[in-house]
Amino acid sequence: MTLWTIIIYLIPLKYAHWLHLFPVLKEGWLPILTTVKTSIFSFLGFEIAFFLYPFLQKKEKASMGVVIANTLSLLAFLMVTIGAFIFYSPDEITIYNEPTIEMLKVLEFKFIERLEIVFFSFYLFVISTTVLPFMFMTVFCTSQLVGKQDYSKHLACFLLIEFAVVVLFPPSFDENTHLQQVIEKAGIILAFAFPLCLWGYVWVHGLFKRRAIK
């Protein structure tokens, strides 16, 4: 589903300046490593496998699925990022709030102008795939907590609450960014620190149990 968006990103490449990509490691590795924190958010979601694992029928293929899914999204992000890097000069790209969206404004055909407006309405569906798994997991987990299999009621409640929040307190751009940063941190903890702790717990638990048996 996201594939066609990438094809659209190929069109502005006629304005590309490949020289912008050089030198490859401008300031060394440090600035690259510091941005990992921000980019990791887009790759989160694989930790859902952690929760879904008990329900899987072919458990041995789970890790493979996670790797394939993340590789696909990696390729998509890589293309869009490189596209933006060669489209914008390194001095100007920092000025834009959303350079990857802004660069689609140059799209223009003989039969349609301002194509980006049409594009964005469809892009909503594409971007929704980032949110949908999280939404699903939320209602899935709450219904599991209550002990019910059917999560449709929870979903309805959740959507209603979300709708009410957005209508009553419409978030500004800054608040959105802030929220994203909070979720990023929470996501990193959930995806990397939490399994480690859990593993530690299981290990310690096992240690004590064995001792008790002795």
Partner 1 sequence: MKRMCLAILLVFLIAILSSCGRHVPLEDLTISLILGVDLDDENNLIISESSPVFNKDAKKSVETYQLKAKSIRASRKYFDALATGEVTAAKIQILLLGKRVLEHEDWFSILDTVYRNPTFSINTRVIVVDGPVSDVIFYKPADKPQLALHLKEAIDKNNGRSRTVNNTLQVLHRQMYEKGLTPSISEIKKEKNLKFVGVSLLNENGKYVDSLSIQDSSLLLILKDEQKQEVTFTIPMKSLDDEGGIFNKNELSIDVNRVKSKVKTKYDQDKFHFNYKIHMTVTIVEQLFPVGKVKEKELEKMIEKELNSRFKVLIKKIQENKIDPIGLGLYARAYQYEQYKKVEEHWGKALAESNIDVSVDIDIKSMGAIK
Binding site for partner 1 (CB under 8 A): 15, 17, 19-23, 26, 88-92, 95, 102, 105-106, 108, 113-114, 121
Which two tokens mark 172?
A: 């500004």
Q: How far is the CB of 78 from partner 1 (least distance, A)?
A: 20
Q: How far is the CB of 22 from partner 1 (least distance, A)?
A: 3
Q: Which is nearer to partner 1, 95 or 213 (CB)?
A: 95
Which two tokens mark 123?
A: 């892009």
Which two tokens mark 102?
A: 């802004």
Q: Which is nearer to partner 1, 57 or 121 (CB)?
A: 121
Q: How far is the CB of 141 from partner 1 (least distance, A)?
A: 25
Strands (E), 8-116: none
Q: How far is the CB of 170 from partner 1 (least distance, A)?
A: 18
Q: Which residue has the tokens 């929704």?
A: 128
Q: Which is nearer to partner 1, 62 or 155 (CB)?
A: 155
44 burial (CB, 10 Å; 0-12 / 13-18 / 19+) is buried
Identity of the amino acid at 11: I
Q: Which is nearer to partner 1, 37 or 114 (CB)?
A: 114
